[in-house]
């Protein structure tokens, strides 16, 4: 029995988002284990190939024909020019499995070559594209009546879900970051779906990185992520206004990230600190210097930033939609609540510092039980179902 040879086609790798973060950790996992692994991804150089032991990387530049989807996300309409380079590398590597992460140009190439070369295709769902499409219709639905706007958004969301689930039906096995999505994908595609959750580096994200003065009694309310409509970031300004109306003082907002709604947030939250995109030590310190993470997204499939906050000893307030509700233990490591109760939940913690301190300890304790190795061990166990008898990879127990 041997470990399967995996060719991985991530939608993004160098960017700042959940897919890229997971992909970087997946590559690092394969390298630690010495598994045969090929990562085909977009990068800054025209064509770049590297090999370190069993890990191979084919990096391909996006062209000027790329369409900007977000500040750091693009879709290259001319990516087909790299077809020959991808084919040659796949023929050299001889993968047992091709794994894609979505309907990007990389995902389309991965799905095509899996079909052409008769290689089993796996696909992981990382982004609720259908919900993003619906939220981004605001430029149109905002001009309609509330009833007509809501109906239009429902039609767009249903259409996007249908189209995306048809794409995922090309795969033989699916992965998703929470059980709710797995059930939805199973129903829509008829394919088996396994969990591909997210892990966290609890040494890198840790309360040990806190640099605030011990005498600083302000409560820092933080947000980390893209500043765009699908993240529901306008709720941050609403929480600030409602806390002020409730007479809750001694709070400061720290907002990490960028996006299309940044200018509007800056106008509405003049007293907040906007740190931009942070990486490395600066990001670890920003988390550790927060007291509460406010994460208002209704569309996140998992919520990497929520788990990173918990690892940093920072409880989180999240919505009852999407993946974050599966991470936060309501009343223990934060709160799971509707938009109109966010300010009240935050106010409870600001006013009850003993409860806040207790939640900080429980948040850290929960995160210590999460690891990337456990996440990807389960992915490799899912690959086993794709391989013919006699060619299966090692079981999770053998991998460990």
Residue 60, helix vs strand vs coil = strand
We find that the CATH architecture of domain 6-199+371-399 is 3-Layer(aba) Sandwich (3.40)
How far apart CA 109 and CA 291 sit, in angstroms, is 44
Q: Which residue has the tokens 């003082």?
A: 249
Residue 286, helix vs strand vs coil = helix
How far apart CA 236 and CA 297 sit, in angstroms, is 11
CA end-to-end span of the chain = 15
We find that the CATH architecture of domain 207-367 is 3-Layer(aba) Sandwich (3.40)
Walking along the chain (400 residues) 10 residues at a time, the average pLDDT comes out as 89 86 94 96 79 91 76 78 95 97 92 96 77 54 68 69 86 90 91 90 94 92 94 96 96 95 96 95 97 94 90 97 91 96 96 95 92 90 81 46
**Whether the Cβ atoms of residue 62 and residue 80 lie closer than 8 Å to each other:** no
Hey, where are the domains in the chain?
A: 6-199+371-399, 207-367
Q: Give the per-residue pLDDT at 198.
A: 83
Torsion of CA 76, 82, 83, 87, to 10 degrees: -130
Q: Tell me if 6-199+371-399 shares its fold with 207-367.
A: yes
Task: Give one DSSP letter per residue of 1-28, joined into a string.
Answer: --PPPEEEE-S-SSSSSHHHHHHHHHHH
Q: Give the per-residue pLDDT at 126.
A: 75
CA distances from 303 to 128, 280, 323, 352, 358 (A): 12, 19, 6, 26, 22
How far apart CA 314 and CA 257 sit, in angstroms, is 18
């Amino acid at each position: 029995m041997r470990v399967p040879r995996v060719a991985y086609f991530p939608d993004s790798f160098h960017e700042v988002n959940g897919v890229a973060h997971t992909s970087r950790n997946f590559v690092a996992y394969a390298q630690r284990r010495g598994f045969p692994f090929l990562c085909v991804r977009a990068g800054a150089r025209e064509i770049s190939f590297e090999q370190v032991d069993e890990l191979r990387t084919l990096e391909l530049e996006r062209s000027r024909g790329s369409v900007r989807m977000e500040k750091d996300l693009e879709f290259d309409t001319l990516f087909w020019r790299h077809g020959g380079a991808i084919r040659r590398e796949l023929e050299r590597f001889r993968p047992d499995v091709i794994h894609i992460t979505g309907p990007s140009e990389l995902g389309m190439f991965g799905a095509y070559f899996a079909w052409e070369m008769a290689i089993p295709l796996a696909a992981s769902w990382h982004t609720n594209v259908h919900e993003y499409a619906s939220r981004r219709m605001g430029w149109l639905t905002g001009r309609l009546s509330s009833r007509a706007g809501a109906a239009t958004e429902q039609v767009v969301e249903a259409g996007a879900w249908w189209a995306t689930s048809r794409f995922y039906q090309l795969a033989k096995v699916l992965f998703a970051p929470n059980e709710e999505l797995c059930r939805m994908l199973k129903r829509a595609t008829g394919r088996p779906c396994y969990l591909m959750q997210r892990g966290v580096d609890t040494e890198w994200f840790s309360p040990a990185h806190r640099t605030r003065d011990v005498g600083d009694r302000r409560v820092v309310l933080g947000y980390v992520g893209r500043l765009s409509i699908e993240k529901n970031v306008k709720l941050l300004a609403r929480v600030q206004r409602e806390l002020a109306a409730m007479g809750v003082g001694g709070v400061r907002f720290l907002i990490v990230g960028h996006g299309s709604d940044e200018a509007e947030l800056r106008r509405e939250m003049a007293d907040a600190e906007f740190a931009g995109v942070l990486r490395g030590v600066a990001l670890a310190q920003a988390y550790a210097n927060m007291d509460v993470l406010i994460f208002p997204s209704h569309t996140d499939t998992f919520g990497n930033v929520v788990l990173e906050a918990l690892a940093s000893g920072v409880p989180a307030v999240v919505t009852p939609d999407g993946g974050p509700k599966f991470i936060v233990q309501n009343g223990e490591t934060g709160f799971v609540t509707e938009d109109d109760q966010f300010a009240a939940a935050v106010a409870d913690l600001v006013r009850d510092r003993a409860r806040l301190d207790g939640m900080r300890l429980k948040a850290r304790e929960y995160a210590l039980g999460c690891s990337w190795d456990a996440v990807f061990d389960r992915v490799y166990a899912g690959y086993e179902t794709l391989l013919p008898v006699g060619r299966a990879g090692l079981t999770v127990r053998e991998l460990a």
